[in-house]
Amino acid sequence: MQPATQTPGVAVQPEPKHSGLGIAGFVLSILSTLLIFGLLIIAGVLEATTPGGIDETSPEAIIVGLLLFAFIGLTLVALGLGVAGLFQKQRKKIFAILGTIFSSVTVLATLALIGYGTTID
């Protein structure tokens, strides 16, 4: 076998690394989606198990509401990291793309669900 030879004057480009911001955005988007989903399940269980439904001024309802806003904020951070990862040069962008998509879908679905919930008596 002959050893591999490099053509003179041609630089070998190393394969680009994954975007660190993209990976962080992807992980946070998955985490925040799971947290929001779990919180909505908890809210549904509280509503179903409380006679007459949960009172909006009860401590449980307030905690669920505050956590929902915190988790939406976490999703927005993930969205920002995903978008920032898209603008990094010479980096793979697959995790940035996935994080941006997952975060966007999570924010839109959560806001749509909140909007739907406000229209119900």
In a domain, 9, yes or no: no
Handedness of CA 75, 81, 87, 93 (dihedral sign): negative
How does pLDDT run across 24-53, given as a tens digit for each residue? Answer: 999 999 999 999 999 999 999 998 998 988
In a domain, 59, yes or no: yes
C-alpha distances in angstroms, 56 versus 34, 38, 53, 76?
Answer: 24, 19, 9, 26
In a domain, 8, yes or no: no
What's the number of domains the chain is made of?
A: 1
| pLDDT bracket for residue 65 (50, 70, 90) | very high
E runs forming strands in 26-108: 91-92
> What is the model's pLDDT at position 117?
86
Predicted TM-score (pTM) above 0.85: no
Mean predicted lDDT score pLDDT of the chain = 90
In a domain, 101, yes or no: yes
Assess whether pLDDT exceeds 90 at residue 84: yes
In a domain, 33, yes or no: yes
Handedness of CA 117, 56, 75, 34 (dihedral sign): negative
